[in-house]
Structure 1
Amino acid sequence: MISKFFINRPIFAAVIAIIIVILGSIAAYTLPIAQFPSLTPPTVVVTANYPGADSETLANDVISPLEAQISGADGLMYTSSIASGSSGTAMITCTFEIGTNLDLATVDIQNRINLAEPILPSVVKTLGVSVQKKTADILFIIAMYSPDESVDDVTISNYVSANVLDEIKRVPGAGQAQIFGPRDYAMRVWLNPDKMATMGITATDVNNAIAEQNIQIAPGRIGQSPMLNGQQLTIMLKAKGRLTEPKEFENIIIKAKNDGRIVRLGEIAKVELGASNYEFLRRVDGKPAVIVGIFADPNANALDTVAAVKAKIKKLSKSFPAGIAYAEPYDTTTFVKISIEEVVKTLFEALMLVVFIVYLFLQSWRASLIPLIAVPVSLTGAFIGMYLLGYSINTLTLFGMVLAIGIVVDDAIVVVENMERIMQTEGLAPREAALKAMSQVMGPIIAIVLVLCSVFIPSTFMPGMTGLLYKQFAMTIAVSVVFSGFTALSLSPAIGALILKEHEKLPPKIFQKFNAWFANLTESYVERSAWLVRRRMLTVFLYCSAVATVIYLGKTIPTAFIPSEDQGYFISVASLPDGASLERTEAVAQKIEAIQKAKPGVEHVISLVGFNLLGGQQEPNSVTVFTRLKPWEERTTKETSLDGVMHSVMAEYSKINEAFAMAFAPPPIRGLGTTGGFQCRLMLKGDANTTKIAMYTQQFIAKIKERKEIANISTQMRPDSPVIMV
């Protein structure tokens, strides 16, 4: 009998338990921390730029050749593509089966893109086609600004690009860091068409002259072999290279006339140093700022990543130039951190309740000590299983441990109660009582472990996203139960044989009163149960009523994959009519900012003017606003809750006549969608064109609007954008 081995060797049993606790503690320290298990399928994003191209050109000349090569990738489930004529960007999102190695998938897609590059437009090949592993949604935002407005945003943007961005990218776990709407330095040439016409100069002439004279060349050497006899020196030649000052660009020769006169760029144009892109505006709380978004690696520890980024930017801020400061207006890990803390708090509360209940009924600190030692051993053992299975510490695994507390304590209680019963009824010594007790309960303990495992382990084989979500929850409980059974067969009887003693004849008065009350309660319960058993029809009626009530509630209570929670922020997207200028969009953004800042629960408002989060692309007629709410302890009223603030701003959004604006809660699980709610796509097979897709899309939207459950619905398709044929 295995228990006899440990009863005779209590030190060996204690050493094994200590090893389990140490290994479990090390595993808990090294396990990644997240809100939920990793559920998002591996995704690779292919991006190509074709400046000036319309959506149809992007779809036909860029996306179609790329998709033709990508379609045969191993493990690829589907692709979705976006062609943005406003920014000249084509983006293909490749979604792979869950479990696919993302690194290998990225390499495979890159190789396939290389095969398609020869047939792409020359401009696209020159700018390059990027292939990147897609990370989750924005994890953290840093806002760089000038408090006294002494430094313009172009200078700040270029300083961040040169000195901050690469440092953040090197932080472990920060898979991607980018500036929203970077304003890289560029020399802007404003041509005077009247002067150009007078001198017979075209824009092509100017473009060719700049391309030919603004280059980096390698002149070579003087005196390099083969050479004449007597050559004494070999001298390296160095050319000036690319031009960097407006004056240098103004001196570019555009044309030489027949009379020997030279026309320079400065004579027909105004040259100034500016930014390469002005189609994007960024503000924090209404003030201009440079927004840096940090995205985490798919398998990174979000909490550690944000902590490391905060430490890095704090260190870098010591060397910022005068007039530049930073803020942290958006942090999605705050909710994750608080969620984990609340579950850990619940875990300790459950442990304290178990301690109280065990002592209340066993009425002996010696007997209570045995299950109280078994619980931490079983729970820390669960961390070993989580580590070996590649799980993370998340709300579901911790919730599984909360439930496991009440389960794992049972095995130890069975051992202790049987030992005490034998000691009291048969007068055996603790060691003999332990041996006899284990001979009686070893089979039931093993049966308990097997029954509980047979309940939880099969749930890990559930298909789809639900199975992935609850797999770690079920396995955490199962592993805890296995360690609990082992502890009940080894450590519990060994400790019991050492510390248990015969009870006093009468327990303390407080326990005598509790025992008397509980005996009366038990007697009353038995009497009422007997009365109910004698009335079979009433029993059947009550049972059927309970079943019917459960069925009714199951059909009427709203269902959801995961409940939506107040994560401390929400997102707004506003769209103006197609073709609206950035200036008009900025005016709408200012109205949205004013509406939100007037709400008592709002702390920070981050506006990205010229960006549509739903489509993931730049659009001069769209604005995306991230709204961070005040801490939860400061929002105790219904009006300051997430739903209260969202309903309030939506009511005022309806008064904005220039645009259609909506507010969204973030998705319950990061990476599964851009906002709360759901997305669907329409696909036409056969002879499909933009007109047909637009028609069916509007019909689909009209049908969906008829359903009362749907609050808002919109589409990012813009088939009627104004176009001038040239």
Structure 2
Amino acid sequence: MRISELCIRRPVMTTLVMASLLLAGFFGYRQLPIAAIPRIEVPTITVTTQYPGASADTMAVSVAAPLERQFATIAGVTSITSLNTEGNSLVTLEFDLGRDIDAAALDVQSAISVAAARLPEDLPTPPAYRKVNPADTPVMFLALTSETATSQDITEFADKVMSPRLSMLPGVAQVNVNGAQKRAVRIRYDLDALATRGISVDEIRQAVAALSSVSPLGSIRTQSQIYILETKGAEPTAEYFKPVVIAWRNGAPVRLQDVARVEDSVENEEARAEFNGMRSIIVSVQRQPDANTVAVTDAIHELLPQFQRELPPTIKLQVLSDRSESIRASVHDVQITLLLTAVLVILVILAFLRTWRATFIPAVALPLSIIGTFAGMAMFGFSLDNVSLLALTLALGFVVDDAIVVLENIVRYVEKGMAPFEAAIKGANEIGFTVLSITLSLVAVFIPVLFMGGIVGRFFFEFAMTISIAILLSGFISLTLTPMLCSRLLGHRHHARRPGLLSRAFEGAYNLMAAGYRVTLDASLRVPRLMLLLTIGTIVATVWAFGVVKKGFLPTEDTNIIIVRTEAAPDIAFQAMLERQRKVADRIRQDPDVLYVNSNVVQSFFNPTLNRGSIFVQLKPRPERAGRATISQVQTRLRRSLADIPGIRAFPVPLQNLRIGSRSGAALYQYTLTSVNQAELYDFAQRLVERVKQAPGFTDVTTDLTLGARQLSLSVDRDALARYGLTMDTVRSTLYSAFGTRKIATVYTPSNDYAVILEADKARILDPGVLSKVYVRSASGQLVRLDAVASVTLGPGPVSVARQGQLPAVTITFNL
């Protein structure tokens, strides 16, 4: 080919071209982010709606259903799921992989605006949407613990000091404070005290809200000066609110402390995180999609000494988990494999070519092809991960083929007595189209993988493209650099010269192998029927083995992290759930391969209801485990150890780098049932779960169906409402103030804002009959007892209601 002859005659030009390729590869390598697996972005948007006090059924019917019907009109939506709990609704939208997430977000915002007319009018805030990637997990967890400091003080440091600085680091997408206990003033009123003084709950709410209000006062302007008017704002302390006058009775003021306990508390009392049994606050850091995981974690580690210096002496900061450690280890292992493979390939070439000069030529082409591939990887936005390094490792066997073919043809002419320069030109021209066809045929093998769709296609696209780039570069180098090096490095063959020791040793080994092959070939030809039977048997055994071998998308990756999901009775109280969770955490800590555990009992995205919790388990590195146990073996051991704890079930699941789907679960496999009839769906789902538990091969069987919660249903007499001059809004507001956790005011300070929360004293509302102590003030000022206008019935109800495809749904999760 002309390009080969040009490179042979222009060695300086060829050298400069190869040097440019080498430099591009080095610069590309420095820009490649390091990750465990290729970046897979599934366009996903979550829509969150809060309707405090509403039941799960109410959230599903009045909030989730209208939103889902409107979201179904958006182009490119592949899945709509929702999870509804008390006061919260989370709708998750998954889009086609080719959908632009920013354009989809605009469509979602428009759909929310259209659906707003069909949502409850008294929603405190409109639905909020957020772009997420289910495949992303935090790259680092930091634990703040203390034996003496309050959780509020720890939260203040995490929220004010750590979170802002971590968020400013390059590559950081989001910082979350888990188990946060933000300061708040909590007002717990006594229903009996209110009834004795003839005060309604709404009067407390109005008095506190009026005291905490922030409104402009204006200014006084004279001819010479301006005076700005301002009143002293409220203070976020219980002492400030205790003397507040809420009413006057018999000529004397009734202060808030006379009818309520006012305490310095936290916004969410039903949330607790514990690190090895000690109260903790967890700070998790998520990276941006194109960020380098190792670089992000290194930047966080550089900040830790600053945080340590600013921490109060009673608070300790330590790294709970660093995902870059497992990534560094796995990538390092693949890099070592890559280097060993390159050395072995060069040694094999030396064994067959038997000369160091001839071996040097493909030995140069091999690293040049690999290094040049880094430039292509950077151009396509790939990362340096296990998949791309695997592609480079496999490419090592391909990239030397073209160089060896060209080299062998040129050496053949040199052995015939032709000068190396002329032999290089003639040999390269003859073999050029052959090398081109070999290169293109190898690339053609990966074309189906390049155009594969779905998650699997996204996952293996980087693999196919990386190995294709390496093969194309090897073809280019074999037609340019290899002939040029042959024309300069190969010498004339002297047939009279005695072969060297290395050549004689390899030749003796070849002769021995050929003799052995000759013996086995002769034996095979003497029994053709037996050979035919062996061939058929091999085919049958292969088909049988393919059927019985375990199949899966990816093997279980040992990340040294296990997530233990816990589940208790649907109607369990927070304190009882916390005690059972502690028993599970203590049992886990007894395992010899566990370094530490972090237990969480809080209503969140991962634990949508209070009867579910999660425990983060950090294992020792595999070389330090007893018997070098795998993560699956540790999982099995923990499953058996946790099976006999009464009142709670535990499901250990190894944390994986690749997560498919936006619905989390307590096991690796999920099966979803949907139906128009919710009652029949729940009935059949429970029966199916029992059958699956009894079937062999299934373990960790559970479901997101949480029936059995005690539910009080109020039947309001409309005629009585009209007779007393009451409205349903007044009744709902009073009930929410009594039995909800109502935020009635916000106190602003220069550094933060704090909530004032109103609720009934929980020590005095342990009996459902307490509803008879609740009074509602009518429009005429009369106090009306609640049981005069409503009757109460006790019955079962769901703790959460899941939906999929605009229908009620139940998801069964299990392991095999």
Bucket of the pairwise TM-score, normalised by the shorter protein:
over 0.9
The whole-number CA distance in structure 2 between the counterparts of 1:125 and 1:173 is: 34
How far apart are residue 706 of structure 1 and its match? 4.6
2:138 is the alignment partner of 1:138: yes
2:536 is the alignment partner of 1:517: no
In the other structure, the counterpart of 1:502 is: 492
699-708 vs 414-423, which deviates more? 699-708
SS in 1 for 2:597: strand
1:398-442 per-residue CA deviation (whole Å, 9 max, x = no partner) reads 111111111111111122222222212x21111011112112221
2:169 is the alignment partner of 1:171: yes
Structure 1 counterpart of 2:377, from 375, 386, 390: 386
Structure 2 counterpart of 1:694, from 661, 682, 685: 682
The whole-number CA distance in structure 2 between the counterparts of 1:116 and 1:324 is: 47
Quick one: higher RCO (CA 8 Å, sep 6+), 1 or 2?
2
In the other structure, the counterpart of 2:423 is: 433
Paired residues for 1:595-606 under 5 Å: 595-606=587-598
Amino acid at match of 2:27: I
The whole-number CA distance in structure 2 between the counterparts of 1:157 and 1:117 is: 35
2:629 is the alignment partner of 1:629: no
- Relative to structure 1, the CA distance from residue 134 to residue 406 in structure 2 (aligned partners, 3 Å threshold; closer, same or farther) is closer
Asked whether the equivalents of residues 585 and 610 of structure 1 are also in contact (C-alpha less than 8 Å), the reply is no
2:476 is the alignment partner of 1:476: no
Asked whether the equivalents of residues 101 and 131 of structure 2 are also in contact (C-alpha less than 8 Å), the reply is no
Amino acid at match of 1:254: I
Asked whether the equivalents of residues 366 and 399 of structure 2 are also in contact (C-alpha less than 8 Å), the reply is yes
1:147-191 per-residue CA deviation (whole Å, 9 max, x = no partner) reads xx2311121112211222222223333322212232111111122
In the other structure, the counterpart of 1:661 is: 650
Asked whether the equivalents of residues 117 and 125 of structure 1 are also in contact (C-alpha less than 8 Å), the reply is no
How far apart are residue 240 of structure 1 and its match? 1.4
In the other structure, the counterpart of 2:219 is: 221
317-326 vs 474-483, which deviates more? 317-326
In the other structure, the counterpart of 2:331 is: 340
Asked whether the equivalents of residues 654 and 660 of structure 1 are also in contact (C-alpha less than 8 Å), the reply is yes
The whole-number CA distance in structure 2 between the counterparts of 1:155 and 1:190 is: 23
Asked whether the equivalents of residues 456 and 478 of structure 1 are also in contact (C-alpha less than 8 Å), the reply is yes
SS in 2 for 1:124: coil
In the other structure, the counterpart of 2:196 is: 198
How far apart are residue 208 of structure 1 and its match? 1.1
In the other structure, the counterpart of 1:571 is: 563
In the other structure, the counterpart of 1:609 is: 601
342-351 vs 98-107, which deviates more? 98-107
SS in 1 for 2:672: coil
In the other structure, the counterpart of 1:241 is: 233
1:305-324 per-residue CA deviation (whole Å, 9 max, x = no partner) reads 33323333443332223322
The whole-number CA distance in structure 2 between the counterparts of 1:336 and 1:707 is: 38
Amino acid at match of 1:405: L
2:526 is the alignment partner of 1:538: no
TM-score, scaled relative to structure 1: 0.93
The whole-number CA distance in structure 2 between the counterparts of 1:71 and 1:242 is: 46
The whole-number CA distance in structure 2 between the counterparts of 1:167 and 1:106 is: 28
Paired residues for 1:640-679 under 5 Å: 640-667=629-656, 669-670=658-659, 672=661, 674=664, 677-679=668-670
In the other structure, the counterpart of 2:545 is: 553
In the other structure, the counterpart of 1:297 is: 288
Amino acid at match of 1:593: A
- Relative to structure 1, the CA distance from residue 59 to residue 31 in structure 2 (aligned partners, 3 Å threshold; closer, same or farther) is same
1:638-667 per-residue CA deviation (whole Å, 9 max, x = no partner) reads 5x4323322222222121111122211224
SS in 1 for 2:358: helix
In the other structure, the counterpart of 2:362 is: 371
The whole-number CA distance in structure 1 between the counterparts of 2:476 and 2:308 is: 54
Amino acid at match of 1:6: C
How far apart are residue 671 of structure 1 and its match? 5.1
- What is the CA RMSD across the aligned residues, in angstroms? 2.2
Paired residues for 1:348-497 under 5 Å: 348-424=339-415, 426-497=416-487
**Unpaired stretches in structure 2, ≥5 consecutive residues:** 715-816
The whole-number CA distance in structure 1 between the counterparts of 2:576 and 2:396 is: 59
1:493-516 per-residue CA deviation (whole Å, 9 max, x = no partner) reads 101111111346223224312212
245-254 vs 213-222, which deviates more? 245-254
In the other structure, the counterpart of 2:752 is: none
SS in 1 for 2:674: coil
1:566-606 per-residue CA deviation (whole Å, 9 max, x = no partner) reads 22111111211111112211221221122111111000101
Asked whether the equivalents of residues 247 and 254 of structure 2 are also in contact (C-alpha less than 8 Å), the reply is yes
Amino acid at match of 1:620: L
Paired residues for 1:325-336 under 5 Å: 325-336=316-327
In the other structure, the counterpart of 1:210 is: 208
109-118 vs 4-13, which deviates more? 109-118
The whole-number CA distance in structure 1 between the counterparts of 2:95 and 2:357 is: 56
In the other structure, the counterpart of 2:738 is: none
The whole-number CA distance in structure 1 between the counterparts of 2:240 and 2:657 is: 55
Amino acid at match of 1:141: F
SS in 2 for 1:594: helix
In the other structure, the counterpart of 2:253 is: 262
Asked whether the equivalents of residues 45 and 132 of structure 2 are also in contact (C-alpha less than 8 Å), the reply is yes
How far apart are residue 624 of structure 1 and its match? 0.7
- Relative to structure 1, the CA distance from residue 75 to residue 303 in structure 2 (aligned partners, 3 Å threshold; closer, same or farther) is farther
The whole-number CA distance in structure 1 between the counterparts of 2:636 and 2:218 is: 69
1:28-85 per-residue CA deviation (whole Å, 9 max, x = no partner) reads 2212222222335211111122222210111122212222332222321111100112
- Relative to structure 1, the CA distance from residue 163 to residue 130 in structure 2 (aligned partners, 3 Å threshold; closer, same or farther) is farther
The whole-number CA distance in structure 2 between the counterparts of 1:323 and 1:117 is: 48
The whole-number CA distance in structure 1 between the counterparts of 2:125 and 2:317 is: 35
Structure with a larger share of its residues in strand:
2
The whole-number CA distance in structure 2 between the counterparts of 1:587 and 1:131 is: 34
32-41 vs 337-346, which deviates more? 32-41
The whole-number CA distance in structure 2 between the counterparts of 1:232 and 1:407 is: 87
Amino acid at match of 1:449: T
Amino acid at match of 1:447: S
Asked whether the equivalents of residues 603 and 630 of structure 1 are also in contact (C-alpha less than 8 Å), the reply is yes
385-394 vs 672-681, which deviates more? 672-681
SS in 2 for 1:679: strand
SS in 1 for 2:611: strand
TM-score, scaled relative to structure 2: 0.83
In the other structure, the counterpart of 2:88 is: 89
The whole-number CA distance in structure 2 between the counterparts of 1:71 and 1:696 is: 27
SS in 2 for 1:352: helix
The whole-number CA distance in structure 2 between the counterparts of 1:67 and 1:456 is: 40
How far apart are residue 245 of structure 1 and its match? 2.9
The count of corresponding residues between Structure 1 and Structure 2 is 708
- Relative to structure 1, the CA distance from residue 233 to residue 455 in structure 2 (aligned partners, 3 Å threshold; closer, same or farther) is closer
How far apart are residue 140 of structure 1 and its match? 2.1
How far apart are residue 129 of structure 1 and its match? 2.7
Asked whether the equivalents of residues 217 and 239 of structure 1 are also in contact (C-alpha less than 8 Å), the reply is no
Amino acid at match of 2:292: N
How far apart are residue 703 of structure 1 and its match? 3.8
In the other structure, the counterpart of 2:49 is: 48
295-304 vs 472-481, which deviates more? 295-304
The whole-number CA distance in structure 2 between the counterparts of 1:65 and 1:296 is: 34
How far apart are residue 288 of structure 1 and its match? 0.5
The whole-number CA distance in structure 1 between the counterparts of 2:287 and 2:225 is: 56
**Unpaired stretches in structure 1, ≥5 consecutive residues:** 225-230
